[in-house]
Chain A
């Protein structure tokens, strides 16, 4: 029940659209791996899944399962199942018959299909729900049934199109746990579209970022956050620190001075932007030896359990997240450490820079 997926140079332009929904997307997923596709609204994520499922045809490119093109196959013969944001259960069927639908279509007898469905209902922790009508289920239960129905069809590839986005946080956590358990048991190849960075990091082996219909970067989730390959990716993933400057040799020259890069880091020479995650930036004592620069705290706002602090150093706004309980006073002079391993230099990008820390300023956060 697993296959390697190769999406090759996928391109799709809708007849009424001025710009292509997808432009030459190449994406490879190894058998049993899960890839999360992240991107802003309208970036082409769902189009990618619809093309893979056969619900739409690309203008160019190929879709291969285990190396063989499935482009000429209709959806029912591709071996690719899909779960959408809405469960889309068949309202005229019982829960059991919904889950048994895939096995029935694969040629199983009614009883055999229902036996299979019963096993999958147990797998999604809804045993005994088979005789119910779909309208008698909660949103979370409906999504579990949709997942069970897709898995019962024993697809080679499972596509998930924001399947948990309509659920509340507690239900979402339960569904995440369930999907992790199902992955461990069934090991399907998964391509999952999501808006949620944390969901992507939790559930997927790798993350692909699509912006403006183009695949920007694909790799392990952590590396995308710490080493984005473009300013667009950095900004999409919430990166807040961008320091303009110039690369000369192995050193980055900017208003903060000369900043070294980690050994082995490749980067082009000339005008560039250094990015560093706000989670990586540390506030240190003014006299600390590891302080790369010094500045004054201009803003501090609560950011969930942590505090987002903005320091103005040599006219450059730097943002960092500090743990709860850290004494922060707007107006204080502090040292700022920019860990070498977390520095990434990218080509300059005309896109607007990320927003500054919000106002109003918090004078004293403890």
Chain B
């Protein structure tokens, strides 16, 4: 057995066991095999029920939209920050410090902080002397602004660190090599820096997207009541006093997982095709 396989086994085995057990339990419960409530027969009734309720499709659309916009902003900000980190002395110290200090903050704390900052009675509204009704509806508003800002802020720091780690290897030297071969700043960005950063952007962007898709606490704290994103819908169904709808909560979770898997596999295929020609 190859050495690297042996080295990752201590981390991979417990992860696979926990994940495998959770997915198995989730699939079973989504098919009606729930403890206490329900019968011993498996069925797809929960999937049918949640699909016909009219809540699933809007939840999918709003979840994908939030994840897409937040990830796009995070990629743009993260990539720019990574470039500044690897090419400027200011960036290498200050921005790196900011990014590193952002990572350990839990999303729930981040969401609370963003709420306190952006709510119509929040810190910024007071700073600008805004009266109630004049302040844009960042929190619980129609555009999910606070939710997207929270994800974009946290994930841009993550993406910046991942991309900076990739670019710090050889990107600067390769860009200089391209320069002495006749490439101007735009050509260096197009043919050298971007292609070198793309694999890291794909991987980090995918992780951010999947996280934003499946995370519950941020839209629950900062989002509006309807339409509910997938994880909020799943949580509401799961905590319902009616135990009969609990399989529907797991059905929503399984749909979320399926979307995440499709995104992940697509990103992996894209990652493997990263060969660029000048």
Name A residues whose Cβ lies closer than 8 Å to a Cβ of B: 53-55, 74-76, 78, 80-82, 84, 86, 88, 90-94, 97, 100-102, 104-106, 110, 113, 149-150, 153, 155, 159
Contact = CB atoms under 8 A, between A and B. Distances in A.
Given A54-B180, A76-B180, A113-B278, 13 more contacts: A53-B180, A82-B177, A88-B170, A90-B178, A92-B195, A94-B277, A101-B191, A102-B181, A105-B182, A105-B187, A149-B181, A153-B182, A155-B180
9 contacts: A75-B179, A76-B179, A82-B177, A88-B173, A90-B191, A92-B275, A97-B278, A149-B181, A150-B181
A83 B251 CA distance: 59
Which of A94, A105, A110, A150 gathers most chain B CB within 10 Å? A105
B275 A93 contact: yes
Contacts of B177: 82, 84, 88, 90
Interface residues of A, dominant DSSP: mixed
Nearest to A133: B275
B192 interface: yes
A55 B183 contact: no
Interface in B228-278: 274-278
B179 A104 contact: no
Interface in B182-204: 182-184, 187, 191-192, 195-196
B179 A55 contact: yes
B90 to A, nearest CB: 14
Which of B192, B195, B278 gathers most chain A CB within 10 Å? B278
B197 to A, nearest CB: 10
A139 to B, nearest CB: 16
Which of A53, A93, A106 gathers most chain B CB within 10 Å? A93
A53 B173 CA distance: 13
A86 B174 CA distance: 11
B136 to A, nearest CB: 42
Contact of B278 (A53, A104, A153): A104
A102 B187 CA distance: 11
Contacts of A105: 178, 181-184, 187, 278
A92 B181 contact: no
Interface residues of B, dominant DSSP: helix
A53 B191 CA distance: 20
A16 B196 CA distance: 30
B176 interface: yes
A342 to B, nearest CB: 42
A79 to B, nearest CB: 9
A319 B195 CA distance: 58
Contact of A76 (B183, B274, B278): B183
A104 B277 CA distance: 10
Contacts of B191: 90, 101
B277 A81 contact: no
Interface string B198-237: 0000000000000000000000000000000000000000
Contacts of B195: 90, 92
Contacts, number: 77
B180 A55 contact: yes
B196 A92 contact: yes
Which 6 A-B pairs give the minimum distances between C-beta atoms? A105-B182, A75-B179, A92-B195, A102-B181, A104-B278, A88-B177
Contacts of B170: 88, 91
B186 to A, nearest CB: 11
A55 B173 CA distance: 10
B275 A81 contact: no
Contacts of B196: 91-92
A106 B275 contact: no
Which of A55, A90, A104, A110 gathers most chain B CB within 10 Å? A90
Contacts of B274: 92
A16 to B, nearest CB: 11
B276 A93 contact: yes
Contacts of A93: 275-278
A101 B196 CA distance: 16
Nearest to B277: A97
A92 B170 CA distance: 12
Nearest to A53: B180
A82 B180 contact: yes
Contact of B176 (A75, A91, A94, A104): A75
A90 B177 CA distance: 9
B276 A92 contact: yes
Contacts of B179: 54-55, 74-76
Nearest to B89: A15
A76 B184 CA distance: 6
Contacts of B183: 76, 101, 105
Nearest to A56: B176
Contacts of A80: 180
A90 B174 contact: yes
Contacts of A84: 173, 177
A205 B277 CA distance: 38
Nearest to A79: B182
Contacts of B181: 76, 81, 101-102, 105, 149-150, 153
Contacts of A88: 170, 173-174, 177
Contacts of A155: 180
A92 B192 CA distance: 8
A332 to B, nearest CB: 56
Contacts of A159: 180
A84 B179 CA distance: 14
B228 to A, nearest CB: 42
Contacts of A100: 278
Contacts of B276: 92-93
B182 A76 contact: yes
Contacts of A113: 278
A104 to B, nearest CB: 5
